[in-house]
């Protein structure tokens, strides 16, 4: 039976890099945050209206935070898990799935209960200093150190992000080179193969 690998980590930790590596290995891919983009760009106008957001909206940290936190106020702290279940189920019919961007403790519990032994939570761990440099250097939506720190605090305090990181099944370190994280993912895949056996 196919597994769902849920990636969790702070902003700038390299979840997308890990997701890309897993995609190259044949995993299906769904990004939790596509739901945010759907609201911002008018693909979910009924939700945008509930949030008081005129769409299409500018994709920036303020609007993204409004959607992330607003969806959870409307639908509950497990909103991104519940609203993405149909996408996850469809992808799992094809192959193992990497679901990029698990946030809240409530989402973690919903997915653990729904998928039982099919879910593996993979935490991408990167120090704040490394993450803040990466976020400042991003071509799209760069963040200052202050903005990055503010986002960290908001995710931990308002979105309960610490729980899924603390309870992850496996951890990879991404403080170093691309070659280093590739080796970390290879180690994870060897571990996963043993778990699936």
Longest dimension (CA), the chain: 50
Checking if the pLDDT of 11 tops 80, the result is yes
Average pLDDT of the chain to the nearest whole number = 95
Phi and psi torsions of 124, nearest 5°:
-100, 115
- Give the pair of three-digit tokens for residue 193: 């193969």
* Domains observed in the chain: 4-32+89-196 (3.40.50.300)
CA torsion, ordered 187, 192, 194, 197, to nearest 10 deg:
-160
Checking if the pLDDT of 197 tops 70, the result is no
Q: Which pLDDT belongs to residue 195?
A: 79
Choose among 10, 30, 24: nearest CA to 186. Answer: 24
Between CA 183 and CA 29 the distance in angstroms is 20
- Give the pair of three-digit tokens for residue 138: 């991003």
Q: Which pLDDT belongs to residue 61?
A: 86
Q: Which pLDDT belongs to residue 196?
A: 67
Choose among 129, 85, 111, 126: nearest CA to 167. Answer: 111
Sheet holding 119-125, edge to edge: 28-31, 97-100, 4-8, 119-125, 170-173
Tell me the residue length of the chain.
Answer: 197
* 31-82 tens-digit pLDDT: 999 999 999 999 999 999 999 998 999 889 889 989 989 999 999 999 999 9
Q: Please state the rounded mean pLDDT for residues 84-98.
A: 97
Distances (CA, A) of 132 to 8, 136, 141, 143, 186: 17, 6, 13, 8, 26
* 104-152 tens-digit pLDDT: 999 999 999 999 999 999 999 999 999 999 999 999 889 999 999 999 9
What percent of the chain is modeled with pLDDT above 90? Answer: 89
Choose among 188, 186, 184, 189: nearest CA to 170. Answer: 188
* 160-196 tens-digit pLDDT: 999 999 999 999 999 999 999 999 999 999 999 987 6
């Amino acid at each position: 039976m196919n597994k769902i690998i849920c990636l969790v980590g702070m902003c700038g930790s390299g979840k997308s890099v890990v997701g890309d590596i897993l995609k190259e290995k044949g995993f299906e891919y769904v990004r939790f945050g596509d739901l945010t983009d759907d609201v911002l760009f008018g693909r979910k106008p009924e939700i945008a209206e509930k949030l008081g957001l005129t769409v299409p909206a500018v994709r920036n940290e303020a609007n993204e935070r409004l959607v992330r936190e607003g969806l959870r106020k409307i639908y509950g702290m497990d909103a991104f898990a519940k609203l993405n279940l149909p996408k996850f189920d469809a992808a799992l019919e094809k192959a193992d799935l990497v679901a990029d961007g698990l946030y809240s403790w409530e989402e973690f519990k919903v997915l653990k209960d729904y998928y039982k032994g099919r879910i593996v939570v993979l935490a991408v761990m990167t120090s704040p200093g490394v993450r803040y440099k990466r976020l400042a250097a991003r071509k799209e939506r760069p963040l200052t150190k202050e903005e990055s720190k503010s986002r960290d605090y908001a995710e931990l305090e308002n979105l309960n992000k610490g729980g899924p990181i603390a309870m992850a099944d496996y951890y990879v370190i991404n403080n170093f080179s691309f070659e280093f994280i590739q080796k970390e993912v290879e180690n994870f895949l060897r571990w996963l193969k043993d778990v699936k056996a």
